[in-house]
Amino acid sequence: MKYLTLLCLLVMVPVASSFCQTTKPIPDFISKEDMAYDLEALNRFVQKNHPDAFYTHTEEEVNAFAEELKATLPDSLSRIAFWRVCYKMITFYNDAHTRMQYTPFYSDYVKNGGKFFPLEARFAEEELIVYNNFQKEVDIPAGAIIQSMNGRSISEVKQEVKLFARGESDQVDLLQLNERLYFYLWLAYGWGDTFELVVEMPNGTTQNLQIAGIPLATLQQQPGFEPRRQDIVYVDELNDSTAYLYIKNLFSAGKKYYKNAFDEAFDRINAQPGIKYLIIDNRFNDGGDDTYAEYLCRYFADQPFRSVARSYWYVTPEFKDRFKRAFIPGAVRWMRPLYWFNKHTKAIWGAKDGELAEVKKKFTKPFKDSKQFQGEVIMLNEVGTFSAGSMFAAMFKDFEMGTIIGRPTGNISSFFANNIMRGRLSRSRLPIEVSTSYNVRPNGDESLRSIQPDVYVKEGEDILEFALEWLGK
């Protein structure tokens, strides 16, 4: 989302009495009493700071789910096990930007040689079908159906891992699970070392099998596994008629970098008269500043455009304080009259506490024809396309800038974001973050449906290869 670079630097200062006010040691285990306390604090924090915490589940449903979680708590849990409980709770709000980060736990696990599920398998209805086997010790061919895993039926496994998927719609939840099942099995259960499977083979026989997990590095070397490039922006020619522009994200560098990178990319592309097609690879773009994407679109849009129709910010005294420290330089924070010269600060400081401050987005004009790319533009998207990456996709689609090939994006059309309200649960010291704004898609679509491709690529198929074949036809 916009301003993400600044947000990542924001100091986590508590804003509620249930959050830790001083530095405390991180506990190894959490008692049942402390877990119940922190779960209640988590829900208070979300509901106090979110623009609409109950937009998909009613308050009664949220409370019932919280009570179910508390009823399952044992006398104590390790910190990572309790983090999994909290992860399910915060995911229940169905807002991908209101979250508990998995990165510290996941990074430690990978760094210490943690292993993962070694099969590529995808859910189809209530079946889990094998597509690839990345370990060689046990023969499990493509087409085999996994009936149970580590003593749990596949329907039970699917139900549990789905509680950890943050796709905001059933369609994207399933795509995310199928894309990275190895990750979600670790996220939900901590599974990785060994897997006890009951498998129905393609010939109809059923076998009880045990397979060992494999390290992430081994998984990344397998065919079809496509990790993100290290380049923030990368341009190349795929053939004599097709240019390729890759965008990793829109937050790793500043405005000057992205402007220069996009200018240089189109200088290079436009200098080659044989280039008829431009493929923009937006599959791995997981967010940042949407204004950088607006600048890029000036090179091929044929009408004025904008990344959102309008945005709303939920105003509270705590939010104003956090917003100031995130976006307003300390030297001028005291100069309150200056706030009225910026549309965001004017709307926020003009709103009463508890109100939504509305900010309408202005249209951006395309570059003149002589500077633009004159060929056909194709955008590649999939569930890894998130936040400002999804806003880029919506802008591209709603203003008819080209053809989208791939799979749905990882955000719904209009979504909550700008998670600047952050804190730590006081007993477990687990960090959480909550969205403070709501962005409305340019065409006004507020359905629980993400940006859909014009040309859908089936799961398991390589989207870039498909796009090149599609252009060849």
Phi-psi bin for 150: left (phi > 0), alpha (psi -120 to 50), beta? left
pLDDT of residue 236: 97
Asked if 285 contacts 385 with a C-beta cutoff of 8 angstroms, the reply is yes
- Give the C-alpha separation, 116 to 106, whole Å: 11
- Give the C-alpha separation, 388 to 439, whole Å: 10
pLDDT of residue 228: 77
pLDDT of residue 16: 40
Asked if 164 contacts 216 with a C-beta cutoff of 8 angstroms, the reply is no
Nearest by Cα to 439 from 383, 386, 381: 386
Every domain of the chain and the residues it spans: 37-225, 233-308+362-411+450-472
Q: What is the pLDDT along the chain (473 residues), one digit of tens a residue?
A: 333 333 332 223 333 434 544 467 888 999 999 999 999 999 999 999 999 999 999 999 999 999 999 999 999 999 999 999 999 999 999 999 999 989 899 999 999 999 999 999 999 988 999 999 999 899 999 999 999 999 999 999 999 999 999 999 999 999 999 999 999 999 999 999 999 999 999 999 999 999 999 999 999 888 777 667 889 999 999 999 999 999 999 999 999 999 999 999 999 999 999 999 999 999 999 999 999 999 999 999 999 999 999 999 999 999 999 988 888 888 888 787 778 878 888 999 999 999 999 999 999 999 999 999 999 999 999 999 999 999 999 999 999 999 999 999 999 999 999 999 999 999 999 999 999 999 999 999 999 999 999 999 999 899 999 999 999 98
Q: Does domain 233-308+362-411+450-472 have CATH number 3.40.50.150?
A: no
pLDDT of residue 125: 84
Please tell me the CATH superfamily of domain 37-225, with its number. Answer: PDZ domain (2.30.42.10)
pLDDT of residue 21: 46
pTM as predicted: 0.91
pLDDT of residue 9: 28
pLDDT of residue 331: 80
- Give the C-alpha separation, 55 to 33, whole Å: 30
Which residue has 């989302």 as its token pair?
Answer: 1
pLDDT of residue 47: 97
